[in-house]
Structure 1
Amino acid sequence: MSVTIAIAVFIISYIFIMSEKINRALVALAGGVLLLLTGVYQWEDAVTSYIDWNTVALLFAMMVLVAITRKTGVFTYIAIWLAKLVKGKPIPLMIGIGFLTAIGSALLDNVTTVLLFVPVILTLTNLLQLPTFPYLLTIILTANIGGTATLIGDPPNIMIGQAVPHLTFLSFLQHTAPIALLLLGLVLVLLSIWFRKQLKQIDSNRIDELMQMKESQYLKKSPLLFQSLSILLLTIIGFLLHPVFHIDLTIIALCGAILLLIVSEKEVETDKIFEQVEWVTLFFFIGLFMLVGGLEEVGVIDELARSIMWLTEGDMTNTALLLLWVSGIFSGIIDNIPFVAAMIPVIEEFETYGMTNLDPLWWSLALGACLGGNGTLIGASANVVVAGLADAQNKPIAFVKFMLYGIPVVILSLIISTIYIYFRYLLPFQQPL
């Protein structure tokens, strides 16, 4: 009976999350509470075993760091500076925004990055009278690609990094950043070709208006600027030095957030900063972990692992490539966060079937989930955030229209990832020592 309840609650919750008719955090939490009420597991199990507090705390810390830094106006300054640098030319502006978004997503996280850049881009496109869709599409695609490059760039990577201690910040830079950089270049070329007719030369008066803007007016030159940028940089350096000092990433991020809150207390009120934290996202994660915990409690995760092993006959190459494509396809349909939450215990279970080196599987999951999120508007959290910001400004993104561009990008990304994974991880694995 518990198996039926856990599966039913999980599927129904998924359907409501995909429909977006009810707040997804509320749906996930309601599903988790229902599992508690029906006795699938106890509250103590949820708190101690299934909710990944490290992931929740790491996201919280990064949100605090960025919320304070945003008050300095540095991100608006950068966007206007870029627009002026390319003299308002539509295609170079799109490419520049793509690079900025990818870098921001790698160093901060993709949800935070789109929250920072989308409002600025909407303002710039209105000023220059440019169509917004190409730029919003660029932000979404490059945010997910850039987020693939680092441990903190995309929530799925954070979850994988917390589950596998030896996959450090530096590990992600070494293994996922190279292919992310390659895909970023290819996708920006594709976008330039697709939108070359829509993004033609614009009215010179509009360009003059842009060039007269003073980006320095948006930059608040106060002690907070130096404090926030310095501590943000120190936090990222701490991530890079994690293998040396062996301090948990969550502790590094929390130390950075708390330190910045303390030193900036005279300029910003702590309670105001906490109001800007994306609590909905954090509670969505908590509810999600509870939903997946129900499947783990009743043995569904174990059975899924056995099924994959049966399909691939335990062959590492077949398992890794199947995981890559399944991750890519499913992440485009059902949001990559819950998919990765469900798959982490599945991969961990493979070790009990004799697979000693699981790293190719972790990289397959990371690449498939992060890159597959570009398939639809609900494929990744960043997509949903951009769509919501666009709707608020009466610039809605059509679901089907997005798919016409997103699906080809995902297919291209998965093909290149297949080649990358095979030659970097699987071919050496097949060769005798």
Structure 2
Amino acid sequence: MTAAAITVFVVAFVLIATERVHRVAAALGGVAVLVVLGIVDSHSAFFAEETGVDWNVIFLLLGMMITVSVLKHTGIFEYMAIWAAKKSRGRPFRLMVILVLVTAFVGAFLDSVTVMLLVAPVTFAVCGRLRLPVVPFLIAEVMAANIGGTATLVGDPPNIMIGSRAGLSFGDFLINLAPITVVLLVIFIGLCRVLFRRAFIDAREHMAEVMALDENGTIHDRKLLVRCLVVTGGVMVAFILHGPLGIDPAFVGLLGAGMMVLVSGTQAKEYLAEVDWSTLVFFMGLFVMVGGLVSVGVIDDVGRWAIDLVGDNYFLAAVVLLVGSAIVGGMIDTIPYVATVLPIVEELVASVPDPATGEALWWSLALGADLGGNTTAIAASANVVAIGFAARRGVRISFWEFTKYGSLVTAVMIASCVPYVWLRYFS
């Protein structure tokens, strides 16, 4: 069964990567084969915590998609687009820096998926105004969201999972991961200047048109906007305080969506039209396929092999977690990967005599999983959501177009983290 599960996953991954068939068809086809082989059943797919669909992620996505759909009707995204275009003065690289910094900052306090749902409409609007190619900007923002989310407990789903398992607080993440995140963001901006240089077309000829626009005129209903922003602010606070409040982020997302619909009076056919159902179904299929690997013990065997390999060399263990998480997490979604690795790391940390050194292993796992999310088009939820959002607007971002940039960025980010981990925890 182990060989069969691996084969099914590899074939599905190849089909997704080569885009020979639609990614949803590849994922659901893989699930169908696993069901026929007896590796997956209804319980393991829908109800088992370790091998099934992560409904928290699915409902968080659904809630935030509805929230963004309602916000779109207020005109706030057009307002932000005109503001960013004016601040850039028609210089594409300056515009990219503005969007990257905003995305990374917001990404530190909101889930990266939520951030992309908020930022992507702005990006399409501003690039349309300045006649710029939208794909490089969208890819840069996805990566910025994943990098920025590394800094805090609530920034990326893997951090929430790690914090819960290891008993690490919001402050712990801020103290340990925020400094290196700032450094990585500076490095990333430098990489953007090189990687996306062909997109930096002089757009100053369109600035007269942009400067003549009145961003305040894009707000269709100020009272509605105020109500929606109050709800959005409450959702952000609830995300940050979800631990002490004892409320799951998915529940926060659904409550926020419900409140947004209530205060806006938006009709169901309007806000449900913006929900990217194909992305949600793709995630479900991906979770179940990875669950098949978990069921047959593949990921668990890899993790235990790594523990045996490092022995009592804890710096080596940290590097293995850092690099290994980026590699494996880059091939599958980081959420199910981290869920599988958590008990293995907990066992390893328990064997470390020095608590500070043991904690360093948790930080290495967080860095590897979060930054590894940039490696491929399916490595992180934000990537899949952004690509799906673009597709719905007629813009295609292929698996390899994203991955050729993402793999290089991830390699540079991980290489930059190795000396940080050494100097901070082992020197």
TM-score, length basis structure 2 = 0.82
* Identity over aligned pairs, percent: 37
Give the Cα separation in 1 of the matches to 2:92 and 2:361: 40
Residue of structure 2 equivalent to 1:320: 318
Q: SS of 2:48's equivalent?
A: helix
Residue of structure 2 equivalent to 1:186: 187
> What residue ranges of structure 2 are gaps of 5+ in the alignment?
none
Give the Cα separation in 1 of the matches to 2:186 and 2:245: 34
Residue of structure 1 equivalent to 2:419: 419
Residue of structure 2 equivalent to 1:81: 83
Give the Cα separation in 2 of the matches to 1:257 and 1:391: 23
Is the Cα–Cα contact under 8 Å of residues 151 and 158 in structure 1 kept in the other structure? yes
Residue type of the partner of 2:343?
Answer: E
Q: CA deviation at 1:77?
A: 0.9
Give the Cα separation in 2 of the matches to 1:71 and 1:224: 9
Q: Closer, same or farther in 2 for the Cα pair 1:297/1:195, shift >3 Å? A: closer
Residue of structure 2 equivalent to 1:305: 303
Is the Cα–Cα contact under 8 Å of residues 375 and 406 in structure 1 kept in the other structure? yes
Residue-pair matches, total: 419
Residue of structure 1 equivalent to 2:73: 71
Q: SS of 1:84's equivalent?
A: helix
1:269 to 263, 267, 270: 267
2:340 to 342, 345, 349: 345
Residue of structure 1 equivalent to 2:167: 166
Residue of structure 1 equivalent to 2:256: 256
Give the Cα separation in 2 of the matches to 1:200 and 1:298: 51
Q: Closer, same or farther in 2 for the Cα pair 1:275/1:362, shift >3 Å? A: farther
Is the Cα–Cα contact under 8 Å of residues 18 and 378 in structure 1 kept in the other structure? no
Q: Closer, same or farther in 2 for the Cα pair 1:7/1:126, shift >3 Å? A: closer
Q: CA deviation at 1:307?
A: 0.8
Q: CA deviation at 1:211?
A: 0.3
Q: Closer, same or farther in 2 for the Cα pair 1:9/1:196, shift >3 Å? A: closer
Q: Deviations over 1:306-364 (max 9, x none)?
A: 211121125432222112112223444x25x1x54134323313445654776544432
Q: CA deviation at 1:303?
A: 1.7
Residue of structure 1 equivalent to 2:371: 371
Residue type of the partner of 2:246?
Answer: H
Residue of structure 1 equivalent to 2:15: 16
Residue of structure 2 equivalent to 1:245: 245
Q: CA deviation at 1:230?
A: 1.0
Kindly indicate whether residue 9 of structure 2 is the aligned counterpart of residue 34 of structure 1: no
Q: Closer, same or farther in 2 for the Cα pair 1:144/1:35, shift >3 Å? A: same
Q: Deviations over 1:28-82 (max 9, x none)?
A: 3333343333322432233233323223233332333222223222122112112
Q: CA deviation at 1:207?
A: 1.6
Q: Closer, same or farther in 2 for the Cα pair 1:343/1:79, shift >3 Å? A: same
Residue type of the partner of 1:55?
Answer: V
Equivalent residue runs for 1:272-287 within 5 Å: 272-287=270-285
Is the Cα–Cα contact under 8 Å of residues 55 and 159 in structure 1 kept in the other structure? no
Is the Cα–Cα contact under 8 Å of residues 79 and 117 in structure 1 kept in the other structure? no
Is the Cα–Cα contact under 8 Å of residues 326 and 410 in structure 2 kept in the other structure? yes
Give the Cα separation in 1 of the matches to 2:78 and 2:270: 20
Is the Cα–Cα contact under 8 Å of residues 305 and 347 in structure 1 kept in the other structure? no
Superposed CA RMSD:
3.5
Give the Cα separation in 1 of the matches to 2:384 and 2:256: 28
Q: SS of 1:88's equivalent?
A: coil
Give the Cα separation in 2 of the matches to 1:295 and 1:198: 40
Kindly indicate whether residue 149 of structure 2 is the aligned counterpart of residue 147 of structure 1: yes
Give the Cα separation in 1 of the matches to 2:395 and 2:43: 45
Q: CA deviation at 1:108?
A: 4.1
Q: CA deviation at 1:269?
A: 1.3
Residue of structure 1 equivalent to 2:228: 228
Give the Cα separation in 2 of the matches to 1:234 and 1:388: 27
Q: CA deviation at 1:212?
A: 0.2
Q: SS of 1:11's equivalent?
A: helix
Is the Cα–Cα contact under 8 Å of residues 68 and 118 in structure 2 kept in the other structure? no
Higher mean alpha-carbon deviation, 177-186 vs 392-401, is at 392-401
TM-score, length basis structure 1 = 0.81
2:55 to 53, 56, 59: 53
Higher mean alpha-carbon deviation, 53-62 vs 349-358, is at 349-358
Give the Cα separation in 1 of the matches to 2:214 and 2:83: 9
Q: SS of 1:422's equivalent?
A: helix
Q: Closer, same or farther in 2 for the Cα pair 1:33/1:137, shift >3 Å? A: closer
Residue of structure 2 equivalent to 1:431: none
Q: Closer, same or farther in 2 for the Cα pair 1:254/1:362, shift >3 Å? A: farther
Residue type of the partner of 1:247?
Answer: I
Give the Cα separation in 2 of the matches to 1:244 and 1:392: 37
Residue type of the partner of 1:101?
Answer: T
Is the Cα–Cα contact under 8 Å of residues 231 and 256 in structure 1 kept in the other structure? yes
> What residue ranges of structure 1 are gaps of 5+ in the alignment?
429-433
Q: Closer, same or farther in 2 for the Cα pair 1:183/1:85, shift >3 Å? A: same
Q: Closer, same or farther in 2 for the Cα pair 1:66/1:392, shift >3 Å? A: closer
Give the Cα separation in 2 of the matches to 1:306 and 1:28: 28
Higher mean alpha-carbon deviation, 193-202 vs 298-307, is at 193-202
Is the Cα–Cα contact under 8 Å of residues 323 and 361 in structure 1 kept in the other structure? yes
Q: Deviations over 1:371-400 (max 9, x none)?
A: 233345555454455556667878766877
Give the Cα separation in 1 of the matches to 2:345 and 2:403: 34
Q: Closer, same or farther in 2 for the Cα pair 1:168/1:327, shift >3 Å? A: same
Residue type of the partner of 2:61?
Answer: L
Is the Cα–Cα contact under 8 Å of residues 162 and 342 in structure 2 kept in the other structure? no
Give the Cα separation in 2 of the matches to 1:90 and 1:41: 48
Q: SS of 1:268's equivalent?
A: coil
